[in-house]
Amino acid sequence: MNPLYKIIERESLSDVDRNIFAELLKKQGKVEGDLSLKADRCKEICIAYIDNIPVAIGGIKKKTKSDFGEKKANILICEKDFDWELGYIYTDENYSGKGISSSIVKQLLERNENENLMASTEVEANPFMVKILEKNGFIQKGKTWKSVIHGKNLGLFLRNKTIIK
């Protein structure tokens, strides 16, 4: 049961890729808006398959500028240093605990090693994602804030390429 990872750049996205991405985001239940458009927000996505079944996703998308603002992390001074966000990381619960999300993050980071990246995630409710981010050089900065979607505390994590090298 070895996962197959498919990295797709925005220009090469198919409707099938978009639909898979949207379906897994729907299962995740933490993203609002038209889910069919979310893959197109990314410069690239990763879809993990097991036995030809899509089981996990992730992407590098344009940053969520508001995460740096007063109502969230309150570190607007850092916002100008970041253009891209590691996001939409999700593994179907039937396949969790097998390192799939960690592998998606690693592959996306390898492809974007020269970028300053941000990520936001639940800090108490999702300790595995926090560990994945920290293991890959992300540091939590600023204050935590409550998600308007699900009410859990979120944190902003930053990975600055000049600090990592």
Question: What would the pLDDT profile of 119-162 be if each residue is shown by its tens digit?
Answer: 999 998 778 999 999 999 999 999 999 988 878 899 999 998 76
Instruction: Please say if the pLDDT value at position 95 is more than 60.
Output: yes
Question: What would the pLDDT profile of 17-63 be if each residue is shown by its tens digit?
Answer: 999 999 999 999 888 899 999 999 999 999 999 999 999 999 999 99
Q: How far apart are CA 69 and CA 65, in angstroms?
A: 7
Yes or no: is domain 4-164 CATH 3.40.630.30? Answer: yes
In this structure, how many other beta carbons lie within 10 angstroms of the beta carbon of residue 71?
11
Report the predicted TM-score, pTM, of the whole model to 2 decimal places: 0.93
Instruction: Please say if the pLDDT value at position 100 is more than 70.
Output: yes
In this structure, how many other beta carbons lie within 10 angstroms of the beta carbon of residue 37?
11
Written as six digits, the tokens of 47 are: 């879809």
Contact 54, 48 (CB under 8 A): yes
Can you list the alpha helix ranges (DSSP code H) found in the chain?
15-28, 76-79, 100-111, 127-135, 161-164
Domain boundaries, the chain: 4-164
Instruction: Please say if the pLDDT value at position 85 is more than 90.
Output: yes
